[in-house]
Chain A
Amino acid sequence: MTQGLLVLWIVSSLAIVFETRTYRLIIYFSIFSLITSVAYFLLGSPDVAMAEAAIAAFASIFFIICIEKYYSRKENVEKDSAKGESLARKAVKAVPALVLCVGLFFLVIYFIPGIEPSHYLKHLYLQRFMTDVGGENAVTAIYLGYRVYDTLFEALILVIAVVAVTHMSYSEKTQVADGSHSEIETSRVAALSLRIICPIIVAFGAYLIINGHISAGGGFQGGLALATFFICRYMVYDIYDISVKNVLQWEEFIFAIIIVVTAIAVFLGAATYMPAAIVPIYQSVYLIIMNLLIGLKVACAFFVLFYRYITIERE
């Protein structure tokens, strides 16, 4: 049943490759990432599927930001270079992509299961993670225990990206007390629906973060859900009163706390100095605190990115 989905996946990626009009590309990309996340889900990596589904929603918003910036800088851009191409050249362009896709498809289905892998690392991680790191989710154990350096650098990269976006789309107005209303405000059905949805989003995001070390989920996914709440809050109540600069400072502060917590918990090797009875509680507390901090940081980051879009929209 997964093979049928992979065929749809290849078809949608080919549609992305051969489309030249920008707006259609955004919609095709959304379809592609939906199918990608279902493929992740069926192939057995639920955490990645959850992150992909949340990213798919945000990626389309960020594409819109880029298009707005591009077309507002260059008003009269005419770029349809691909229209004059003959059919033969299109076919020549199509052949390598087709060969690559079909080759990858057969590679995935037939050849990769045939290779006999070494199970050393699998045994090392999957059988010992409960005593080493704690929790019941092996993915959380890996990204907060064995690979905590990677997590630190990913957090650093998100901070750098947000700072770069804030400075490249710099505007004098960091906050607007009142002004033109968003378009959704005029429709009462939409406002009512979003008011019902908002509390559910916050509750679900908190559930994902706090439950992250037991079931699938975690800091990143819960943080994206919280950022979705901020978007809904903007759309319903039309509040634009939070200063971007302050949120950015909060995000950097939380990043510093993450580094300190990691240093205290991991580098001191607390499990070796503690009585054995306290260790599981300590491990759970560590996992929950790290998930909470990462979730807050991701929520702050996407909040800043989204408010940049609002500033561009209102100018």
Chain B
Amino acid sequence: MGIENIWQLIGNIIIGFGVFCMIFGAVSLFVLKDFYPRILVASKIDTVGLLSFVIGFAFRHGLSFFTGKLFIILIIMLVLNPFVAHILARSAYRSGHELAAEAEEGEKS
């Protein structure tokens, strides 16, 4: 078992972890009932999944031109993915979208 095989194994494990995270994100989209929990769980788990995907492929390819480009993608997605989720949640809040439970309480009081 050479040193390349060990790197490939580590990469495969990290990619498996990413797939696991993404499946949880997809399940949470259907299990949770409201928008704010959904965007919390889905975007957080999805960001972790994407980053671990990129790191896993970087491990699989070793030090090469491919890995350099992968790290550019890593930096971009590390900035952009939470940013888009932030803008979505913020504009939903500002437009007056409320949690279902909070809306019921507001009607009662």
Contact = CB atoms under 8 A, between A and B. Distances in A.
Interface of A: 183-184, 187, 189-190, 193-194, 196-197, 200
B87 A197 contact: no
A184 B90 CA distance: 10
Contacts of B79: 193, 196-197
Interface string B26-46: 000000000000000000000
Contact of B80 (A183, A184, A193): A193
B76 A200 contact: yes
A158 B63 CA distance: 43
B86 interface: yes
Contacts of A200: 72, 75-76
Given A190-B87, A196-B79, 8 more contacts: A183-B91, A187-B86, A189-B86, A190-B83, A193-B80, A193-B83, A197-B79, A197-B80
Interface string B50-94: 000000000000000000000010011001101100110011000
Contacts of B90: 187
A23 to B, nearest CB: 12
A196 B76 CA distance: 9
A5 B40 CA distance: 28
**In the complex, which range does the number of interface residues on chain B fall in?**
10 to 19
A184 B91 CA distance: 10
Interface of B: 72, 75-76, 79-80, 82-83, 86-87, 90-91
Nearest to A200: B76
B87 A184 contact: yes
A190 B80 contact: no
User: Is the contact region of chain A dominated by helix, strand, or loop, or is it mixed?
Assistant: helix
Contacts of B83: 189-190, 193-194
Contacts of B91: 183
A190 B82 CA distance: 10
A193 B81 CA distance: 10
Nearest to A193: B83
Nearest to A196: B79
Contacts of A184: 87
A190 B72 CA distance: 20
A225 to B, nearest CB: 13
B10 to A, nearest CB: 26
Interface centre among A184, A189, A193 (most CB of B within 10 A): A193
A190 B84 CA distance: 9
A184 B86 CA distance: 11
Contacts of B80: 193, 197
A196 B91 CA distance: 22
A190 B94 CA distance: 15
Contacts of A196: 79
B76 A197 contact: yes
A193 B87 CA distance: 11
B6 to A, nearest CB: 29
Contacts of A190: 83, 86-87
A128 B82 CA distance: 48
A196 B72 CA distance: 12
Contacts of A197: 76, 79-80
Contacts of B86: 187, 189-190
10 contacts: A183-B91, A187-B87, A190-B83, A190-B86, A190-B87, A193-B82, A194-B83, A197-B76, A197-B80, A200-B76
A193 B90 CA distance: 15
Nearest to A197: B79
Contacts of A194: 83
Contacts of A187: 86-87, 90
Nearest to A187: B90
Most buried by A among B72, B75, B82, B87: B87
A53 to B, nearest CB: 14
Contacts of B75: 200
A199 to B, nearest CB: 11
